[in-house]
Amino acid sequence: MTALLTTARLAVSGGSADWSFAYRDGHGGVVATAAPVTAEQPPHGWRGWFSTDHNLGRVVVRVDDPAGTPLFFADRQPVPPSTGATPPCAILAPHGGLLGRVAVDTARRHRAHRILGADDTVLFEVVWEPSGRYGDFTAPDGSVAARYHPAQGLWFQRRLPSAEHTLVVAFPVALALLGTTGT
């Protein structure tokens, strides 16, 4: 099993306009890298100039272990121009099966996200601390499974089943694709 799915603390760097990321363990060793495999270009010309969001197209990011074996994909569908609402970011297994989704929780007053299972049940609510410095992954029973701080990384508070662990690990990539960094 790859270190990405067994490490209790992960630092995540990157996520700029090129959608590339690196996951590092507590000792600084790279345990996974992420790069886009599909990225639709924003509109060009006058249409692009007046657009309020230059990342409306579909983006798929593949996360690989150090040997280059795919671990999962993050897939953000295009934002419908009519609504402007960002659709959830799907997290897919290497074989293409749906593991779950990361969605913006628009029902909350403060910034919040939901991690949904493949059957759309809520696995975790990620509620950000009021200043947006970090978010806690809270299970439906109220227990905190992990914490994410954009500048410091992910900390797992307890072991999770493989699919849930992968969804939490995918969160920083999904967050960037959704255009909500948490800071």
Parse the chain into domains and list their residue ranges. Answer: 3-178
Beta-sheet pairing, 89-92 with 98-104: antiparallel
Fold of the domain built from segment(s) 3-178: Porin (2.40.160)
If pLDDT is split at 50, 70 and 90, which confidence band does 69 have? very high
Asked if the model's pLDDT at residue 182 lies above 50, the reply is no
Burial of residue 150 (number of CB atoms within 10 Å: 0-12, 13-18, 19+): middle
Cα 16 to Cα 168: distance, rounded to the nearest angstrom: 20
Residue in the block written with tokens 């657009």: 51
Asked if the model's pLDDT at residue 35 lies above 50, the reply is yes
Two tokens, residue 117: 């299972």
Report which of residues 143 and 40 the model is more confident about.
143
Alpha carbons within 13 A on the beta-carbon side of 135? 24
Report which of residues 130 and 90 the model is more confident about.
90
Identify whether the C-beta of residue 157 lies closer than 8 Å to the C-beta of residue 172.
no
Averaged pLDDT for residues 100-118: 87
* Residue 16: per-residue pLDDT: 64
